[in-house]
C-alpha cells in the first residue's frame, strides 16, 4: 500500500508542471485567503496588546457610577479628594497620594497619510501623573509647565497625525497651544494622546469637573480595600476598576468586530478557495482518468489513488498557505495604524503578525486543501475501470 501510494503520488506531482495554470488557482486562492485572515487577526492582536500594556495591576481607575468610558464620566472636586484619601492609595515621600485627577477631550487633527481629520484625545493630567505612570518618558523636548498652554505628545500620535511635532501650535477652543515635548510609554494607548496641565486644559474647555481619577495602590492586593471603601461611601456613586480590567473592557467590542470580520470575510473567501480546489482537483482527476484506470487494472488499490489525490491537494494548499503567511508578515507586520477607541478618539497601534497567527493561517490552508481534495479523491477511487478504458 505504501509503495503504491508513493508511486502514484510521485507521478501526480511530476505532472503538476503540465497543469500549472489550474494548480495556481488553488495556490493563489488560498494565499489570498490566508493573507487576509492573518492580517485582520494581526489587527486584533496589536490593538489588544496596546490596550493591555496601558494597565497595571497596582493601579486603579475611578469613574462616575454607570460610566463605560472616561468621556461619559464626571467627578466633582470634593469627591476627588475623598477618592485620593481612601485607604490603599500609595503615598509619596511627603505623604501625598500618588494619584491624578484627569479629564479628556476630543480635538480633530489631520492624518499624515490621508490628510483627513481624525479625533485625537487631549488629556489633562495632574502633577503626580508621571510618578503615577513611570512608563512615560520624555524622549524629545521637555515636560510642559503648569498653568501654561503647553502640551506633550505621544510618539504614536506623532507618527500618525500632522501638526504635532515639537514647536508646532495647535488651536482648539479658541486657544493656542504649543507642543513642547514628545513622550513614549511602551506603545500603550496613552502614546496616542496629547497631554497638558489639568487646570489649564479644564479652563480652555470651560469645565470644572474631572472625568476620572487614577491612583497608585500600595500593592495589587490593596485593590479590594480601596474599592470597598469607595463603593460603600454614601457620598460617592462611583465605579472602581483595576486598570487592566478597564482597558480590556474598552477593547472588547472592537475585538469582537475585528474577529467577526476576520472569520466572516475569511470564511467567505475560504469557501471560494474550496470551490476552486474542487474544480482544479476534479479537472486533474478527469484528465488522468485513463491513467488512473490503467493503474487500477494492473493492481493498484483504490486507497493509494485516494491518498495521492489528497496529498496533491494538501501540498498545493500548503504552498498557498506559506505564500499567504509570508505576504502577511512582509506587508503587515509592524505597520502602524489607528482606529476608533472607546472615547470616540483614535488609538494608534502596531499590527503584530505572531508565529501563532502564521501557524493558524497555514492550518487554515491545509483544512481548505482537505475539503477541496475530499470529493475528487472519492471520485478517483470510484472511477469504473472498464468504463474509463473504453472511453479512451
The DSSP-derived string for 116-173 is: -EEEEEEEEE-TTHHHH-TT-EEEEE-PPPTTS-EEEEEHHHHHHBTT-STT-EEEET
The CB-side HSE value for 348 (13 A sphere, CA atoms) comes to: 27
Q: How many Å is the Cα radius of gyration of the chain?
A: 30
Q: pLDDT tens across 272-312, in order? A: 877 777 777 777 666 666 666 666 666 666 667 677 777 77
Q: How far apart are CA 106 and CA 129, in angstroms?
A: 20
Average pLDDT in the chain:
84
- Which residues, including other chains, have CB under 8 Å from residue 376's CB and lie 6 or more apart? 278, 281, 282, 284, 285, 309, 313
Percent of the chain with pLDDT over 70: 81
Q: What is the crossing angle of helices 355-382 and 302-332, to 10°?
A: 150
More confident position, 236 or 379: 236
Question: Residue 295, SS3?
Answer: helix
Whether 68 has a pLDDT exceeding 90, the answer reads no
Whether 392 has a pLDDT exceeding 60, the answer reads no
Of the candidates 305, 268, 275, 309, which has an alpha carbon nearest to the alpha carbon of residue 385? 305
Cβ contact 290:36 at 8 Å: no
Q: Is the pTM of this model over 0.75?
A: no
The CB-side HSE value for 321 (13 A sphere, CA atoms) comes to: 21
Q: pLDDT tens across 125-136, in order? A: 999 999 999 999
pLDDT at 12: 63
Q: pLDDT tens across 44-62, in order? A: 787 777 766 778 899 999 9
Q: How far apart are CA 274 and CA 287, in angstroms?
A: 20
pLDDT at 227: 96
Of the candidates 383, 361, 327, 352, which has an alpha carbon nearest to the alpha carbon of residue 34? 361
Question: Residue 75, SS3?
Answer: strand
- Residue 222 — very low, low, confident or very high, per pLDDT cuts 50/70/90? very high
Q: How far apart are CA 271 and CA 371, in angstroms?
A: 10
Q: pLDDT tens across 99-109, in order? A: 999 999 988 89
- Which residues, including other chains, have CB under 8 Å from residue 125's CB and lie 6 or more apart? 100, 102, 195, 196, 197, 198
The DSSP-derived string for 24-72 is: HHHHHHHHHHHHHHHHHHHHHHHHHHHHHTT--TTEEEEEETT-SSGGG
pLDDT at 366: 87
More confident position, 150 or 392: 150
Structure-block grid coordinates of residue 389:
478504458
Q: How many CB atoms lie within 10 A of CB 13?
A: 14
Q: Which of 134-143, 177-186, 378-387 has the lowest mean pLDDT?
A: 378-387
The mean pLDDT of 235-242, rounded to a whole number, is 94
pLDDT at 290: 60
Amino acid at each position: 500500500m505504501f509503495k503504491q501510494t508513493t508511486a502514484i503520488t510521485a507521478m501526480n506531482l511530476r505532472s503538476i508542471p503540465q497543469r500549472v495554470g489550474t494548480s495556481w488557482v488553488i495556490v493563489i486562492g488560498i494565499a489570498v485567503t490566508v493573507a487576509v485572515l492573518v492580517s485582520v487577526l494581526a489587527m486584533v492582536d496589536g490593538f489588544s496588546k496596546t490596550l493591555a500594556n496601558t494597565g497595571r495591576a497596582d493601579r486603579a481607575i475611578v469613574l462616575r457610577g454607570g460610566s463605560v468610558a472616561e468621556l461619559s464620566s464626571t467627578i466633582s472636586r470634593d469627591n476627588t479628594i475623598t477618592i485620593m484619601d481612601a485607604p490603599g492609595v500609595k503615598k509619596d515621600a511627603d505623604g501625598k497620594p500618588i494619584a491624578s485627577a484627569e479629564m479628556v477631550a476630543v480635538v480633530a487633527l489631520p492624518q499624515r497619510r490621508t490628510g483627513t481629520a481624525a479625533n485625537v484625545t487631549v488629556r489633562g493630567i495632574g502633577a503626580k501623573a508621571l510618578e503615577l505612570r513611570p512608563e512615560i518618558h520624555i524622549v524629545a523636548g521637555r515636560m510642559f509647565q503648569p498653568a501654561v498652554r503647553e502640551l506633550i505628545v505621544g510618539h504614536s500620535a506623532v507618527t500618525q497625525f500632522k501638526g504635532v511635532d515639537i514647536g508646532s501650535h495647535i488651536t482648539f477652543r479658541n486657544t493656542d497651544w504649543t507642543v513642547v515635548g514628545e513622550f513614549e510609554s511602551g506603545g500603550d494607548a496613552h502614546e496616542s494622546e496629547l497631554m497638558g496641565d489639568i487646570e489649564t486644559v479644564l479652563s480652555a474647555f470651560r469645565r470644572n469637573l474631572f472625568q476620572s481619577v487614577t491612583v497608585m495602590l500600595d500593592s495589587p492586593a490593596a485593590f479590594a480595600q480601596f474599592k470597598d471603601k469607595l463603593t460603600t461611601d454614601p457620598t460617592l456613586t462611583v465605579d472602581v476598576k483595576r486598570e487592566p480590567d478597564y482597558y480590556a473592557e474598552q477593547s472588547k467590542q472592537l475585538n469582537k468586530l475585528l474577529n467577526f470580520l476576520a472569520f466572516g470575510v475569511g470564511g467567505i473567501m475560504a469557501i471560494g478557495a474550496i470551490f476552486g480546489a474542487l474544480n482544479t482537483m476534479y479537472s486533474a482527476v478527469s484528465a488522468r482518468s485513463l491513467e488512473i484506470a490503467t493503474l487500477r487494472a494492473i493492481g493498484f488499490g483504490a486507497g493509494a489513488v485516494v491518498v495521492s489525490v489528497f496529498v496533491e491537494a494538501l501540498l498545493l494548499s500548503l504552498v498557498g498557505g506559506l505564500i499567504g503567511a509570508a505576504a502577511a508578515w512582509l506587508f503587515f507586520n509592524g505597520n502602524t495604524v489607528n482606529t476608533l477607541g472607546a472615547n470616540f478618539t483614535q488609538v494608534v497601534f502596531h499590527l503584530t503578525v505572531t508565529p501563532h497567527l502564521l501557524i493558524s493561517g497555514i492550518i487554515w490552508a491545509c483544512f481548505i486543501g482537505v475539503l477541496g481534495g475530499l470529493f475528487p479523491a472519492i471520485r478517483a477511487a470510484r472511477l469504473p475501470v472498464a468504463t474509463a478504458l473504453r472511453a479512451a
